[in-house]
Copies of this chain bind each other. A is one copy, B any other.
Amino acid sequence: MSVPTSNRRTQALSLLERLEPSAPERVAQNLDEFHDDATEILLGFAFTDVVAREGISLHTREMLTIAMLAAMGTAPGQLEFHMRAALNTGVTREEIVEIVLQVAVYAGIPASMNAITAAKSAFTSV
């Protein structure tokens, strides 16, 4: 199931590229400046070990990710990134609207309002 060490970083950045073509260079540089192991540990877990798995489509995984990030409300920059990533992986604007309304049910109106801000920004930029 898992991936030989030497490929974990490469595969993680490859998955990240599907989320946003310009992201791998920017994100890897940011993490490499912090510590040599950060990209492999953090993105290797996130993308190589988990998000790249079969069983749910990447399209559905991005729907889940924006729902979770919006409900938690503690990572607004990453919520906006994943709003763009959702659009890039084929989630429609209508689906994002529905997710954002559903966030209001489970996490409250302010969480939903913050997600609307992130979604509108992504709608403009993608």
A interface residue numbers (CB < 8 A to B): 1-5, 8, 30-31, 33-38, 40-42, 44-46, 49-51, 53, 55-56, 60-61, 63-65, 67-69, 71-75, 77-78, 94-95, 97-114, 116, 119-120
Contacts and interface: CB of A to CB of B under 8 A. Distances in A.
5 contacts: A2-B44, A41-B104, A68-B102, A72-B106, A105-B108
A74 B34 contact: no
Given A75-B113, A102-B65, A50 B60 contact: no
A112 to B, nearest CB: 6
Given A42-B101, A101-B38, A105-B108, A114 B75 contact: yes
B78 A75 contact: no
How many chain copies?
6
Given A38-B101, A38-B116, A56-B99, 12 more contacts: A1-B37, A3-B5, A30-B116, A37-B101, A41-B101, A46-B109, A61-B102, A63-B64, A68-B106, A72-B106, A74-B74, A78-B110
A104 B42 contact: yes
Given A5-B2, A64-B67, A68-B68, A109 B106 contact: yes
Contacts of A107: 68, 72, 107-108
